[in-house]
A and B are shown apart, each in its own frame.
Chain A
Amino acid sequence: MNVDLARWQFAFTSINHFFFVPVTIGLAFLTALLQTAWHRSASSGGGREEYLRLTRFFGTLLVINVAIGVVTGLVQEFEFGMNWSAYSRLVGNIFGAPLAMEGLAAFFLESTFLGLWVFGWDKLSRRVHLLTIWAVCLGSVLSAAFIMAANSWMQHPVGYVMNAHHQPQLTDIWALLTNPVFVWGYAKVLFASLVTGAAVMLAVSAWQLRHGGDRKVFTRSARMALVVLVPAILFAMLVGDELGVIEARYQPMKIAAAEAQWTTCQPCSFSLFQIGGGNRDQTPTQILAVPHLLSLLATNHWNGKVVGLNPLQAQYSKQFGSGYYVPNVFIQYWSMRVMAYTGGLVLLLGLWGLWLIRRKRLATSRRFLWVAIWASVLPFAMNTAGWLLTESGRQPWIIQGIMLTKNAVSPSVSTTSVAISLGAFVLLYVVLGVVDLLLMLKYAREQLPPGPETADFETYVSKSAVQY
């Protein structure tokens, strides 16, 4: 089988999958917050109906996304066995365990309670119904935890021993769940998901405010999105910095390639961009090198040392036998910058929004609202770049130091088969992506569901019970 086709397929399907995952995690949390706000106000007799209307409005967007997130996740699970059977056979006892736990502990929870939430408005008490959306939120967050634990093991394998047949055997599940790459990587995914969900909520609210949607209600959701967005992006950056230091420790190639650092440096600067570069050009023209920044990012020290790609290549060749161990430098260099710059732009947008809230001009600043609508693509670019940095930076390994990607593919599957499946998935995902986008846009532009004219909640929900 052709390993490049299998990699293209994994990249294509997983990047697509991860468009929907952070929206789900982020919007599930924000929807749960909205419903909690309504529940608390209703309990205290105030009945802030705008929160109920917002819950239902954003809940619709959440559910449209979950549908695609679930089915594209199924493809990911199958793909390990279909395209990467040599990998699955070798490490199923380690890598499979967190996947099975994900199903048992998280996916069942998320799916079952989503059904209860969507269809349960008129069947459950207000309090129990509120709990169901929090269960969905918990399920989505737990789900990401197990997937990240599995992924982190590929970046930094822990908790195993090699048996006599040179097969890694799981010996310590806690090591997997306390793997520093996992702990920090997971935190980063959670904050990035909050950023994504909040940016979507902000963009939708901004569109509504620009197009005559209910000003009072959508100002409230825009404010809530901003209040979540700013700390989330700040934490994502801080956590990302620490993750960089950890990865520099376990996967030095990844960080050296992210700066296209061929020779060892101390202290090391970080270039804002470069002309040329890549694996064949070791002397690109670096523009605006910021002194000491790479040292800080990679080691947390002002004068930290970063080992260059060439000495690392020499060291790996000695350790693992001859071969080329440098990842794609072009992808590493630019995904690092796209991630950092889009993250920076999101932060600026958030700060601008907070300043407008302080000036009480959030709903009227048409320029900000316009920018906020289009800025919703930034977190998606940031997430994709982050994953490219992580996954492409692990190459040529599928499991760092244990198995090379080229040895991991299914021996029994022909290149034609992979090509057919790649074509089928591309076609399917493009159609689904278009449908999803059209539906999201349609529902994001609809009017708010009307509030209950009376305080009679039971009549309201039974009249507009959510159904297929």
Chain B
Amino acid sequence: MALVPFWFIIITVLWTGFFVLEGFDFGVGMLHAVVGKGEAGRRAAINTIGPLWDGNEVWLVVAGAAMFAAFPGWYATLFSGFYLALVLLLAALIVRGVSFEYRGKRASPRWRRTWSSLLTAGSLLAPLLIGVALGDLRHGLPINASHEYTGSFWTLLQPYGVFTGITFVCVCVLHGATFLALKTTGEERDRAGRVARRVAPVTMLAVVAFVAWTHASGGQGTLLNPVEFATVLVAIAAVWLVHSTSDGWAFAATTATMAGCVLSIFTDLYPRVMVSSTSPAFDLTVHNTASGSYALTVMTVVAAIFLPFVLGYQAWSYYVFRRRVSRRQFREEPGAGASPAATRSRSG
């Protein structure tokens, strides 16, 4: 049935969309205190993603729900197998999500510092954990004949998975830096550019090693497949483009690198969705985990109707908030001599 591979593609697209969009949110979260000096600078950095991050995170929610609906067997094994890692991930995402909202709600510097640290930590931990998980899908985990995970939390931390996680964090940092350079002005823009130029070579090396490792463990000959090849190319191009004067091109290159990393995993994975290190016979594949054809048909109709709308209004919201954010829009000292109007300006 053609809908089964089609839904694998949809889920790949959702994960790719999530990392491309939320990837720079993670990067901004990790870098907001580095790139933004002083309270005004930090707020400028956070406000570049202020109106956007929530909509971006929905890509993760929808990716998870789509797996639940289209490949229930995959969703069930994955979510129960990664149990404690997911508890950590949820904690990271929760803390990070509310820190955006709550950080500005009180003027005390200690309050702001606390939420800033939590924002940084959550933004680091989330892509790391998801990266490890995606690497694990590809590398293989102990899974038995009834598709149940038989390892422990520590089994999840095998070298390839951990390296995938680190690579994803690097790419998110770089992606966040090019986004900040694109969306801020003055000092913040300069600092973001400097961070991008410093991080880009390391990230490129990580991506090249990640692609090589992915390819080598796949045992599909010496030639890279087109997706892997393109990923290496854009990662190298990013190193060059962060030195160019165009913030837009640099951001485009990191966008492509982020997408390439996710796509490399999923293209190498297909038609499997979770590799069993116990026996290839126990691999979870698109076919042995998929929903019935009626359910997939219904979902296809729904996706065909709503995804274009979603893409349309999200693109529009990016257009509405296309202007750069300047530190001059914020007052330096939190709470100092705040008029009622200024106090309000932090309410969201």
Interface residues of A (CB under 8 A from B): 56, 60, 63-64, 67-68, 70-75, 77-78, 80-83, 85-86, 88-97, 99-105, 107-109, 111-116, 118-120, 123-124, 163, 169-171, 173, 410-413, 417, 420-421, 424-425, 428, 432, 435, 439, 442-443, 446-447, 449-450, 463-468
Q: Which chain B residues numbered 85 to 142 have a C-beta less than 8 Å away from chain A?
A: 86-87, 90-91, 93-95, 97-98, 100-106
The contact size tier of chain B is: 35 or more
Closest to B306 in A: A104
Q: Is the pair A101, B302 in contact by a Cβ cutoff of 8 Å?
A: yes
Closest to B77 in A: A85
The yes or no answer to B340 lying at the interface (CB within 8 A) is yes
| A95 CA to B330 CA, complexed, in Å | 46
Q: Is the pair A104, B51 in contact by a Cβ cutoff of 8 Å?
A: no
| Shortest CB distance A80–B (Å) | 7
Q: Is the pair B344, A104 in contact by a Cβ cutoff of 8 Å?
A: no
| A111 CA to B60 CA, complexed, in Å | 13
| A465 CA to B76 CA, complexed, in Å | 44
Q: Is the pair A85, B76 in contact by a Cβ cutoff of 8 Å?
A: yes
Stretch at the interface among B62-70, B228-236, B250-258, B261-269: B62-70
Query: Inside 8 A of A64's CB, which chain B residues have their CB?
Result: 101-102, 105
Q: Is the pair A92, B55 in contact by a Cβ cutoff of 8 Å?
A: no
The yes or no answer to B295 lying at the interface (CB within 8 A) is yes
Please judge, given known A-B contacts A71-B97, A424-B87, A449-B340, whether A113 and B313 are in contact too, CB under 8 Å.
Answer: yes
Total A-B residue contacts, Cβ distance less than 8 Å:
261
Looking at chain A's contact residues, is the secondary structure mostly helix, strand, loop, or mixed? Answer: helix
Closest to B293 in A: A169
Q: Could you show 12 A-B contacts with beta carbons less than 8 Å apart?
A: A64-B105, A75-B94, A86-B76, A92-B71, A92-B291, A99-B68, A115-B52, A119-B321, A123-B321, A412-B148, A450-B341, A463-B345
Q: Within the complex, which residue of A63, A120, A169, A421 is in contact with B83, where a contact is CB–CB below 8 Å?
A: A421
Query: Inside 8 A of B343's CB, which chain A residues have their CB?
Result: 446
Query: Inside 8 A of B70's CB, which chain A residues have their CB?
Result: 96, 100
Query: Inside 8 A of A68's CB, which chain B residues have their CB?
Result: 98
Query: Inside 8 A of B314's CB, which chain A residues have their CB?
Result: 108, 112
Query: Inside 8 A of A116's CB, which chain B residues have their CB?
Result: 51, 317, 320
The yes or no answer to B334 lying at the interface (CB within 8 A) is no
| A28 CA to B115 CA, complexed, in Å | 26
Q: Is the pair B57, A111 in contact by a Cβ cutoff of 8 Å?
A: yes
Q: Is the pair A89, B73 in contact by a Cβ cutoff of 8 Å?
A: yes
Interface residues of B (CB under 8 A from A): 43, 46-47, 50-55, 57-58, 60-62, 64-66, 68-73, 75-81, 83-84, 86-87, 90-91, 93-95, 97-98, 100-106, 146-150, 291-292, 294-295, 298-299, 302-303, 306-307, 310, 313-314, 317, 320-321, 329-330, 340-348
| A417 CA to B76 CA, complexed, in Å | 16
Query: Inside 8 A of B100's CB, which chain A residues have their CB?
Result: 67, 468
Please judge, given known A-B contacts A104-B62, A112-B313, whether A413 and B341 are in contact too, CB under 8 Å.
Answer: no
Q: Is the pair A67, B97 in contact by a Cβ cutoff of 8 Å?
A: yes
Query: Inside 8 A of B64's CB, which chain A residues have their CB?
Result: 77-78, 81
Query: Inside 8 A of A95's CB, which chain B residues have their CB?
Result: 68
| A93 CA to B65 CA, complexed, in Å | 11
Q: Is the pair A170, B83 in contact by a Cβ cutoff of 8 Å?
A: no
Please judge, given known A-B contacts A85-B76, A100-B65, A420-B84, whether A466 and B345 are in contact too, CB under 8 Å.
Answer: yes
The 7 closest A-B pairs by CB, nearest first: A92-B72, A81-B79, A96-B69, A93-B291, A96-B68, A103-B62, A115-B51
| A231 CA to B259 CA, complexed, in Å | 51
Looking at chain B's contact residues, is the secondary structure mostly helix, strand, loop, or mixed? Answer: helix
Query: Inside 8 A of A439's CB, which chain B residues have their CB?
Result: 102, 105-106
Query: Inside 8 A of A102's CB, which chain B residues have their CB?
Result: 65
Q: Is the pair A94, B345 in contact by a Cβ cutoff of 8 Å?
A: no
Query: Inside 8 A of A432's CB, which chain B residues have their CB?
Result: 94, 98
Please judge, given known A-B contacts A82-B86, A466-B347, A468-B46, whether A170 and B94 are in contact too, CB under 8 Å.
Answer: no
Q: Is the pair B341, A464 in contact by a Cβ cutoff of 8 Å?
A: yes
Please judge, given known A-B contacts A100-B302, A114-B54, whether A421 and B345 are in contact too, CB under 8 Å.
Answer: no
Please judge, given known A-B contacts A75-B90, A89-B72, A91-B72, whether A70 and B97 are in contact too, CB under 8 Å.
Answer: yes
Q: Is the pair B298, A170 in contact by a Cβ cutoff of 8 Å?
A: yes
Query: Inside 8 A of B80's CB, which chain A residues have their CB?
Result: 81-83, 85, 410-413
Q: Is the pair A100, B47 in contact by a Cβ cutoff of 8 Å?
A: no
| A171 CA to B306 CA, complexed, in Å | 22
Q: Within the complex, which residue of A88, A97, A428 is in contact with B94, where a contact is CB–CB below 8 Å?
A: A428
Query: Inside 8 A of B103's CB, which chain A residues have their CB?
Result: 468
With contacts A108-B58, A111-B55 known, what are 15 further pairs, Cβ within 8 A? A67-B101, A75-B90, A75-B94, A85-B80, A88-B72, A93-B69, A100-B65, A100-B299, A102-B65, A104-B306, A108-B313, A115-B52, A116-B51, A449-B344, A468-B43
| A103 CA to B52 CA, complexed, in Å | 16
| A410 CA to B87 CA, complexed, in Å | 15
Query: Inside 8 A of A99's CB, which chain B residues have their CB?
Result: 65, 68-69
| A108 CA to B17 CA, complexed, in Å | 13
Query: Inside 8 A of A417's CB, which chain B residues have their CB?
Result: 83-84
| A467 CA to B323 CA, complexed, in Å | 14
Query: Inside 8 A of A114's CB, which chain B residues have their CB?
Result: 54
Query: Inside 8 A of B65's CB, which chain A residues have their CB?
Result: 77, 96, 99-100, 102-103
| Shortest CB distance B300–A (Å) | 11
